[in-house]
Chain A
Amino acid sequence: AQSVAQPEDQVNVAEGNPLTVKCTYSVSGNPYLFWYVQYPNRGLQFLLKYITGDNLVKGSYGFEAEFNKSQTSFHLKKPSALVSDSALYFCAVKGKSGAGSYQLTFGKGTKLSVIP
């Protein structure tokens, strides 16, 4: 069965510093990988995705993510954190299940707090 791990429940970073939110995955075949952000009392918003091609993917609000096939990782990064980046971040993977159908699986989320 496919899975997504976000090893940190919470990440704290000072405003202006670079941030990284980690994600590793396990899936059969080639994965589609996504990052979503959730602000309080709102639904998830799409940030970026990796399908194929360049391992460095750029997305909304200055975020980027690097796909590393050998480490099965898809870490979310931003060069300079803003207080407004404080939110809950979800990594998700879509892959082929054993039965041949596609399944989308979300990680448990990482709460990012940017300290002024």
Chain B
Amino acid sequence: DAMVIQNPRYQVTQFGKPVTLSCSQTLNHNVMYWYQQKSSQAPKLLFHYYDKDFNNEADTPDNFQSRRPNTSFCFLDIRSPGLGDAAMYLCATGPFGGGNEKLFFGSGTQLSVL
């Protein structure tokens, strides 16, 4: 019955070793978002897709990339993880992409970097 699914739930990687986090949705929403959330901080938007259109936040490091091969799936690639990239990564969806709509979050992926 899950609507936004993130895998894996926990990911451990080594410093500098590329890692990919995945998100899938059964809601058929147009918009998929990736947020980074560090302990006791607000979720920080990294980028989002409106359909196939990719929108990067100005302060998102180049180390973070994303792919959306189809409506249902979206991936977050971290090319060379640093210790500062350890965080919870949240995928969320929305039907239309307006700031007045509710977001549906996945369960998150907790990334650790050793």
Chains A and B are bound partners: no
